[in-house]
Amino acid sequence: MKVCLLYEDRERVNEKTYYDTASIIQDLGLKAIFLAASKKLVYENGEVKKAEKEDTYLTDTLRSVMMTPLASADEIVFRQSIVEDCIKHEDLIRSLYLISAEVLKKWNELGRGSRDKPGMSNPVTKLVSDIKVLHLFCESLSKIKGLLKQQEEPLSSKGLKRFMAELLSAFSDEREAFVRKVLDDISFYTDGSDREDEGRRQVVRPRIVIECGLEDGLKFSSLKLEEVSSQSAKFYKPGSTMYKIRDFMNSRTPDSFSAVNDVRIKEQAGILEYGIVSYLTDELRAFTDEFNSFFDRLHYQAAFYLAAVQLKHQIDRLGIKWCFPAVCDRRDLEFTELKELVMGIEQRVNVIGNSCCFKKKDLLIVTGANQGGKSTFLRSIGIAQVMMQCGLMVTAEAYSAGIFPHLFVHFTRREDSAMNSGRLDEELNRMDKIVEQLGDGSLLLLNESFATTTEKDGSVIAYDITRALKEAGVRILTVTHLLTFARRIHEESADDPESGVEFLSAERKQDGTRTFRMIRHDPELTSFGLDLYREIVGD
């Protein structure tokens, strides 16, 4: 039984992740998103009362899925429709996650994958464990089937509708009845001799009827199993008079032959019980094998969608609008009121958004005033691109972009003791590794790269690398203070409408106020650092 909720035509197996996921997570601040999505918000009277503690499995799952980009628009739409369905049926996806988690927990307690543990080499112990696993699977699948059938509003996504249809077929009412009948018949083997039934203590006994012939020496021949069942009777304390009377009566055959005290026959009866129960359990082996990996897959895939729903609640809590992005040509990028989600989560504010429309562009250069929101703007695009490419919503009123299976970030890093060389050497080494990984459909985000040397040298390096990568078909978005580099690119592209270059600048009003919005503007010859000097030091 497949789950196939992350991909329409396959389970998630050996899918390719981004190169250097650690840098993407660090430079885009994605840990804040993972953490926010892992916490369930508790509401009271329509207001958020508290956030529950982190579910580390949700954190790890979201990280894994987000760092594995989808390859086509169809895959993105398939996953988006399931996210949308899960938002409408939050109780369902949460229940699927919790039920599968409970199955895996109990399965592990029963010794899953631990045949080398003490006691598991005993065939009787193993058989009892297998029967309990069958019970666990049957009860859990019954719960899931009930949940799917009880949805008041029909499921609309292709993925969840197919999942429901296939589960109802693989675990039909007829098959469930058959499995339950077998498990009820052999329940004497796992229930023990003492259990509660409507407040009364009961003893469970097997009833096994075998048709056979007898050969010389009272040896059985031509064995044929006619009936196996479990029967309950009133419990009597061992050693009591009623206990002895019941055992005596149960030991009498129609021919008044008693085997109650014959040790050899008792041993043979035990072997016979084991053989019959083992045989009947093997009859359900196909059922076990079919659902052997089902709960692992369901737990992982439900975790992603539950994290998506909880992330949606976090976004709503901030008052930020969101949308499901659309896929367009790789040279186009268009969005309305795109907001940097990580800043919103960390500062718990509805941050300022930006709107842009770029057609047939390969290189975007952002310059302008210091602390004008340029790096935040670049991160907002990077975060949105990662979220779009894993099927999640984006914090914008509208967003459309191409698919880039090869996404790279090159942000300036603070110098630390772990560096074995200068900062410029470290930047060049990182860039060299990125260049080695570039392929078709590459997007490179540069944030103040090569600013660790002189403006002249940094501009030369930035120009040579940017020009070469652009000619190789790499889409580049760069924030820079290297104004010589920016002006040179501007001069070369000014009279060429097909240059594929766009320039933005952080808006600054006449009085030096930053609006944190990006506007189309030619590169200037200053970053207005004196504004910050006056703000900090004074006139």
Quick check: 52 pLDDT over 70? yes
Residue corresponding to tokens 């958020």: 48
% of the chain beyond a pLDDT of 70: 80
116 vs 60: which has the higher pLDDT:
60
The answer to whether 271 touches 123, Cβ cutoff 8 Å, is no
Alpha-helix runs per DSSP H in 186-325: 188-191, 241-250, 263-283, 285-290, 294-318
CA 10 to chain centre: 15
Quick check: 318 pLDDT over 70? yes
Q: Which amino acid is at 276?
A: I
| pLDDT tens readout for residues 128-170 | 888 999 999 999 999 999 999 998 889 999 999 999 999 999 9
So what's the pLDDT on residue 166?
A: 95
So what's the pLDDT on residue 198?
A: 46
Could you give the 3-state DSSP secondary structure of residue 519? strand
Q: Give the least confident one: 97-101, 287-291, 310-314, 422-426.
A: 422-426
Q: Give the least confident one: 163-167, 193-197, 289-293.
A: 193-197
| pLDDT tens readout for residues 461-486 | 999 999 999 999 999 999 999 999 99
So what's the pLDDT on residue 152?
A: 80
Quick check: 358 pLDDT over 90? yes
| Selection from 52-61, 180-189, 494-503 with the highest mean pLDDT | 52-61
Q: Give the least confident one: 259-263, 282-286, 444-448, 502-506.
A: 259-263
Q: Which amino acid is at 9?
A: D
So what's the pLDDT on residue 255?
A: 46
The answer to whether 118 touches 160, Cβ cutoff 8 Å, is no
Structure tokens at 131: 């029967």
Q: Which amino acid is at 245?
A: I
| Nearest one of 534, 533, 522 to 483, comparing CA atoms | 522
Longest dimension (CA), the chain: 117
Band (26; pLDDT cuts 50, 70, 90)? very high
138 vs 531: which has the higher pLDDT:
138
| pLDDT tens readout for residues 374-401 | 999 999 999 999 999 999 999 999 999 9
Burial class (CB in 10 A: 0-12, 13-18, 19+), 53: exposed
So what's the pLDDT on residue 261?
A: 56
CA dihedral 399, 400, 406, 411 (to 10 degrees): -40
Quick check: 233 pLDDT over 70? no
| pLDDT tens readout for residues 87-99 | 999 999 999 999 9
Q: Name the β-bridge partners of 336.
A: 398
pLDDT, mean of residues 360-371 = 92
| pLDDT tens readout for residues 394-420 | 999 999 999 999 999 999 877 654 555
Q: Give the least confident one: 5-9, 98-102, 369-373.
A: 369-373
Name residues whose C-beta falls within 8 Å of residue 313's C-beta, 6 or more positions apart in sequence. 41
So what's the pLDDT on residue 361?
A: 95
Could you give the 3-state DSSP secondary structure of residue 121? coil
| Selection from 117-131, 199-213, 300-314, 424-438 with the highest mean pLDDT | 300-314
So what's the pLDDT on residue 232?
A: 56
Q: Give the least confident one: 75-84, 134-143, 145-154, 507-516.
A: 507-516
pLDDT, mean of residues 38-56 = 93
CA distance 431 to 328: 28
**Strand pairing class (195-197; 200-215):** antiparallel
So what's the pLDDT on residue 496?
A: 87
| pLDDT tens readout for residues 443-464 | 999 999 998 889 999 999 999 9
What does 316-343 look like in DSSP terms, one character per residue?
Answer: HHHT---B--EE--TT-EEEEEE--HHH
Quick check: 13 pLDDT over 80? no
So what's the pLDDT on residue 188?
A: 79
Band (85; pLDDT cuts 50, 70, 90)? very high
| Nearest one of 518, 477, 458, 503 to 337, comparing CA atoms | 518
Band (205; pLDDT cuts 50, 70, 90)? low
* Domain limits, the chain: 21-46+60-169+292-301, 188-287, 319-413+420-536
pLDDT, mean of residues 4-31 = 92
CA distance 447 to 374: 9
Band (278; pLDDT cuts 50, 70, 90)? confident
So what's the pLDDT on residue 115?
A: 56
Structure tokens at 179: 């499995």
The C-alpha angle with vertex 530 and arms to 528 and 531, in degrees rounded to 5, equals 75
Superfamily of chain region 319-413+420-536: P-loop containing nucleotide triphosphate hydrolases (3.40.50.300)
CA distance 266 to 255: 19
**Strand pairing class (363-368; 475-479):** parallel
Q: Which amino acid is at 105?
A: K
| pLDDT tens readout for residues 342-356 | 999 999 999 999 999
The answer to whether 332 touches 403, Cβ cutoff 8 Å, is no
| pLDDT tens readout for residues 297-312 | 999 999 999 999 999 9
So what's the pLDDT on residue 118?
A: 55
Band (273; pLDDT cuts 50, 70, 90)? confident
Helix 56-66 / helix 294-318 crossing angle, nearest 10 deg? 90
